[in-house]
Structure 1
Amino acid sequence: MKKRIKMLVDLLMTVCLLMLMAYQVTGETLHEWIGAGMLVMFLLHNLMNRRWYGHLLKGRYTLLRILQTGINIAVLVSMLVLGYSGIVMSRHVFSFLPINGGMALARVLHLAGSYWGFVLMSLHLGFHWGMVVSMFRKVCGESKSVFRIWLLRLIAVLISGYGAICFYQADILSYMLLRVEFAFLDYMKSPAVIFAEYLSMMGFWVFIAYYASKILRELSVSKHKHKEMKK
């Protein structure tokens, strides 16, 4: 039951993340409410996975674990930054709070934090994508069809490739590095196109993290076997 709740929270967070990036679709008021819900779910996610913090100083740190830990901590920082800046700039959900000043800094933090959070959370999802693949196999059955396997891989490559193009064309790196301090949103695009672009961009970073984790795991196993053979 607890595992299902975790999966539901993670799914809702993923949906909220996509909706938050599509500001021109949701509008200001709904954006704030979704952001507040995202913050609550993120805190719940951390509460349900609190054991992870207790194991930070335990065990051996491989390159994969160092990357995962770094990404997780960076996600935490980005969410705290987004939570703070979102509350300061709020005109609806948290407008009752007596907050004066800090708007200029909050706006810059929110702009950079939004795109950093999007990339970091996508990478975090990618490092855990193996669980999604396993769940998919349980539902659809273990397939030994070479055609089906390569078809799915081709679809993944096409989605991530399109996502890489969208990421470049949207010049998101400039927002992340604060080379541009104002987000330029295209209100002429249809909601379907906007969500498809952000979903593809998410797929691009998921693809990178998923296959990077697979390669690092295989290298770790290979290194371990090599050591065992030397004994």
Structure 2
Amino acid sequence: MQTKMKMKAGIDLLMTVLLLLLMAYQITGQELHEWFGAGELLLFLLHNILNMKWYGNLFKGKYRLPRIIQTIVNFGVMITMLCLVFSGIVMSRHVFAALSIHGPMATARMMHLAASYWGFVLMSVHLGLHWSMILGMCRKLTGSREKPQAVTWILRVMAALLAMYGLYLFDRKNIFSYVFLKQQFVFFDFEQSAEAVFVEYIAMMGFLVFAACYISKGIASIHTSKNSVQKNEEKEEGSR
């Protein structure tokens, strides 16, 4: 079990790093971008193999709001990955060029643009929905103890500031205009340093993780409160 947990943690970490590298096209260039994309696909397949139990439970149990949201996000990630694989192979000049798979280049480019940013958003949200579980897994693997309350609050404030900066960047860089194809070309700043590019994408990912984590916690809290009220009402009815 410990080995499987370590494998999951390692794969998820590598997927996150590769996602950031894939978004930084102006730093990596075409050939590296393709190799990173192929690596992300391989890790995505391994991630799904290690989580096959989730697919087996799809038709079991009740679907309440938190589970519905998680399921939509998971299938959204899968759809974007399929779109990226198809469009990436069609446009490939290096990794998949020997396959001689051709298709409508204009359609593939538009698909790749939208799916890239949808993938970034949905994968970040996916991380946020599982953030508490990820932190718990890290504690188990490292054997770390509970942090002092003051340290916990300092880290929360830092996370909130990072999320606020990420939200500002989302607006400044018009990310949703790419998601909804309001802009059909990405404007890369090739003079921007690699450090600045990665800091910006980490901040935007941080915003999505932060928002997804706390929104999901809020929904779960409301759901728990409703269940508690219902149980108390049922007890009162039974005692009459």
Q: Which TM class, normalised by the smaller chain length?
A: over 0.9
Which secondary structure does the structure 2 equivalent of 1:215 belong to?
helix
Task: Kindly provide the amino acid, as one letter, of the partner of residue 7 in structure 2.
Answer: I
Counterparts of 1:37 and 1:17 in 2: how far apart (Å)? 10
Query: 1:21, CA displacement in angstroms?
Result: 0.1
**How far apart, in 2, do the equivalents of 1:53 and 1:108 lie?**
30
What is the SS of the residue equivalent to 2:182?
coil
Distance 1:197 1:31 in 2: 18
Matched AA of 1:141: R
Larger Rg: 2
Counterpart pick for 2:176 among 155, 169, 173:
173
Which runs of 5 or more structure 1 residues have no equivalent in the other structure? none
**Counterpart in the other structure of 2:200:** 197
- The farther-off stretch of 41-50 and 73-82 is 41-50
- Structure 1 residue aligned with 2:4: 2
Change (3 A) 1:51 1:137: closer
Question: Partner residue of 1:38?
Answer: 40
Shift of 1:99: 2.0
Deviation at 1:137, TM superposition (A): 4.8
1:143 alignment partner in structure 2 = 147
Partner of 2:210: 207
Tell me how far 1:191 sits from its aligned partner: 0.3
Q: In 1, distance between residues paired with 2:216 and 2:226? A: 15
The aligned counterpart of 1:101 is: 103
Where does residue 52 of structure 1 map in the other structure?
54
Q: Choose 38-47 or 190-199, whichever is displaced more.
A: 38-47
How big is each residue's C-alpha offset from its partner over 1:132-187, in whole Å with a ceiling of 9 and x where there is no partner? 33245554421242x22221111011100111111111101111111111110001
Match status 1:229 vs 2:226: no
- Output one character per residue of 1:166-218: Cα deviation in whole Å (capped at 9) or x when no partner: 11111011111111111100011100000000000000000011001111111
Query: 1:113 & 1:100 partners in 2: Cα distance?
Result: 19
Percent same amino acid among aligned pairs? 51
Conservation of the 8 A alpha-carbon contact between 2:5 and 2:137: no
The CA distance in 2 between the partners of 1:46 and 1:89, in whole Å, is 26
| Distance in 2 of aligned mates of 1:166 and 1:133 | 26
SS of the residue corresponding to residue 120 of structure 2 reads helix
Q: Per the alignment, do residues 69 and 112 of structure 1 end up closer, same or farther by CA in structure 2, a change over 3 Å counting? A: same
Q: Aligned partner of 1:164: which letter?
A: L
SS at match of 1:100: coil
Q: CA RMSD in A?
A: 1.2
Q: 2:15 aligns with which of 1, 9, 13?
A: 13
Distance in 2 (CA, whole Å) between partners of 1:39 and 1:102 is: 22
Q: How far apart, CA to CA, are the structure 1 residues paired with 2:135 and 2:185?
A: 38
Aligned residue pairs, count: 230
CA distance in 1, matches of 2:59, 2:138: 33
Could you tell me how far apart the structure 1 residues matched to 2:135 and 2:157 are? 15
Match of 1:87 in 2: 89
Structure 2 portions without partners, runs of 5+: 235-240
**Residue of structure 1 equivalent to 2:237:** none
